[in-house]
Amino acid sequence: MFYVKNVPNWERVLRVIMGLMGLGYAGINWDGSSLAVAMGLMGAMLALTGMVGFCPMCAMVGRKLDKRH
């Protein structure tokens, strides 16, 4: 594996749900609106980080999973 997961399971589920909601909003309002495009991009990124379990921004600030649990 090329990366170490840094997103806990509860947050992964939340990211996937919120990402799909953002993608749904973008799909419904895709009439050239810049808000819909931004929501679509953010939703895709959230869903991707939730499915993979690695967030590059969290890695940049040094976030690591607590392995005690």
Domain that holds residue 21: 9-60
In a domain, 13, yes or no: yes
- Residue 42 resides in a domain: yes
- The answer to whether position 22 is within a domain reads yes
**Over 90: is that where the pLDDT of 66 sits?**
no
Number of domains into which the chain is organized: 1
In a domain, 50, yes or no: yes
- pLDDT greater than 70 at residue 9: yes
Whole-model pTM: value is 0.83
Report pLDDT digits (tens) over 13-55.
999 999 999 999 999 998 878 999 999 999 999 999 999 999 8
Closest-CA residue to 6 (of 67, 44, 68): 67
Structure token digits, residue 35: 């808000």
Residue 68 covered by a domain: no
Q: Within a domain: residue 1?
A: no
Q: Is residue 66 part of a domain?
A: no
pLDDT digits (tens, 9 = 90+) for 44-60: 999 999 999 998 888 88
